[in-house]
Amino acid sequence: HFTNLPQIPTDEPFAVNASYIKDTYPKKVNLGIGVYRTNKGDPWPLRVVEDAEKAIYNAQDISRHEYLSIQGDREFLRLAADLVFDFNSVQPCADTTQSGLDRVTSIQTVSGTGANRLGAEFLTRNISPGNVWIPAPTWANHHTIWDLAGVPRKEYPYYNSSTGEFNYEETLQTLRTSSSKNDILVLHACAHNPTGADPSREQWEGILDVCKEKGLIPFFDLAYQGFASGNVGKDGWAIRRFFEEGGIEFVVAQSFSKNFGLYGQRVGALHVVSSSSAAQGVSDDILAMLCHLVRGEYSMAPRGGAEIVRRVLGNKELRARWVEDLDTMSTRILSMRKALFEELVALGTPGDWGHVVKQIGMFTYVGLSETQVFAIRERHHVYMLKSGRISISGLNETNVRYVAMAIDDVERG
């Protein structure tokens, strides 16, 4: 029975992390895993999260470990949706009297991964997409998730490695010529993982046009809102733009892992957006379907982390402090981009390093080949993914020069 299972490749970020942990070299550097680290290289529970945790504990609410509903914590969901769509600021669509709020159906999920998975299952069962279009490259789990959903995967040429930018022209060309109605289009809402290269606002307009023209269903993966730029409104702009358009149906997989530092707590939400002309009551049917899928998988998402997020987002003062914590993280990441860039320039390392400061978010495609990635690991104990993706938050004032020198060494052969 269990002796002939197919061989499943190990998950790369977790495997790289395990090799790093085993390495005993004192100057080793972990640029593999996508988690925030302080300037000392330590994990950082957000200050506002620690205060919310204490308040939850002190409240001694005897119901705090009871079941949630299948949908999850509704107040958390209202606040989570509002963080994405900013209902008060959204312009009402020209062709409807419906408020934007009615168009969004939300359910709590097992973080961003769970939201991606549930969204994939929901779409697969209900609209039978011919294909899903995934950026090349992308977060590797998109492939696993859509493979499990059983939808044929096609890639669009997202990244231009010679410019270090989003490959707008070729992406649009590919979608125009090869996609079909009801195909799913996976989009990173901000801080594209692994490249750190995002579309400009004008380019988002072009993507929106092609979605309308071809009848595609956008699937926004929102894993870095506020973490990327420190500004939640700015990082959520593309989604709000699609929302305001009105006539388009799409989904959003929202994660609170990075922007609240709640990685292992698994806090997230899936938002299904119906078009402004959809019949009333469609939201009830969407919710019933989502609840059905969740009930059969795990009954409901966990409640602890969502309660922390609810308390912070629902309280003006705590929310302002959260924005300060976001600023601390995004500013440190930006300063490490700058430091790495400056070290490489000072060393005169062959190549153009401008992309390191141009790209945003946690990751950058630093531009090393697979052979160089293995060489830098072997010779300098610097760990990164074989694509050359580095997590900027693994850099700090103590190791950035060492990393730059290691890159310089493998660049020179």
Residue among 44, 133, 139, 353 flagged as catalytic: 139
Q: Which residue is nearest to ligand PMP (CB)?
A: 112
Q: Which residues contact 378 (CB under 8 A, 6 or more apart)?
A: none
Q: Residue 110 pairs with which residues in a beta bridge?
A: 267
Residue 254 found at the interface with ligand PMP (CB under 6 A): no
Residue 259 found at the interface with ligand PMP (CB under 6 A): no
Specify whether 258 is catalytic: yes
Question: In the block, which residue shows the tokens 């195909």?
Answer: 183
Using the rule CB under 6 A, which residue among 77, 223, 228, 329 binds ligand PMP? Answer: 223
In angstroms, rounded to a whole number, what is the distance separating the alpha carbons of residues 136 and 140? 10
Number of residues near ligand PMP (by CB under 6 A): 13
Choose between 266 and 377: whose C-beta lies nearer to ligand PMP: 266
Q: Cα(first)–Cα(last) distance of the chain, in Å?
A: 49
Using the rule CB under 6 A, which residue among 105, 257, 265, 274 binds ligand PMP? Answer: 257
DSSP annotation string for 139-163: -THHHHHHHHHTPPEEEEE-EETTT
In angstroms, rounded to a whole number, what is the distance separating the alpha carbons of residues 362 and 391? 6
Q: Residue 269 pairs with which residues in a beta bridge?
A: 108, 254
Residue among 221, 235, 322, 325 flagged as catalytic: 221
Using the rule CB under 6 A, give the single segment among 51-59, 71-79, 107-115, 162-170 that binds ligand PMP: 107-115
Closest distance to ligand PMP from the beta carbon of 195 (Å): 11
Residue 137 found at the interface with ligand PMP (CB under 6 A): no
Specify whether 221 is catalytic: yes
Choose between 138 and 399: whose C-beta lies nearer to ligand PMP: 138
Instruction: From residue 254, give the alpha-carbon distance in Å to each of 110, 114, 176, 221, 257.
Output: 10, 9, 28, 7, 9
Burial class (CB in 10 A: 0-12, 13-18, 19+), 42: exposed
Phi-psi sector, 308: left (phi>0), alpha (psi -120 to 50), beta: alpha
| Site track 150-189 with ligand PMP (rule: CB under 6 A), x = hit | --------------------------------------x-
In angstroms, rounded to a whole number, what is the distance separating the alpha carbons of residues 214 and 313? 37
Specify whether 139 is catalytic: yes
How many alpha carbons fall within 13 Å on the CB side of residue 47? 13
Residue among 28, 258, 322, 325 flagged as catalytic: 258
In angstroms, rounded to a whole number, what is the distance separating the alpha carbons of residues 317 and 323? 10
Choose between 13 and 129: whose C-beta lies nearer to ligand PMP: 13
Using the rule CB under 6 A, which residue among 135, 226, 268, 305 binds ligand PMP? Answer: 268
Using the rule CB under 6 A, give the single segment among 78-86, 105-113, 243-251, 307-315 that binds ligand PMP: 105-113
Residue 255 found at the interface with ligand PMP (CB under 6 A): yes
Choose between 106 and 193: whose C-beta lies nearer to ligand PMP: 193
Q: Which of residues 203-222 bind ligand PMP (CB under 6 A)?
A: 221
In angstroms, rounded to a whole number, what is the distance separating the alpha carbons of residues 185 and 188? 10
Using the rule CB under 6 A, give the single segment among 47-55, 119-127, 159-167, 255-263 that binds ligand PMP: 255-263
In angstroms, rounded to a whole number, what is the distance separating the alpha carbons of residues 153 and 110? 23
Residue 111 found at the interface with ligand PMP (CB under 6 A): yes
Q: Which residues bind ligand PMP (CB under 6 A)?
A: 34, 111-113, 139, 188, 193, 221, 223, 255, 257, 263, 268
- Which residues are the active-site residues? 139, 221, 258
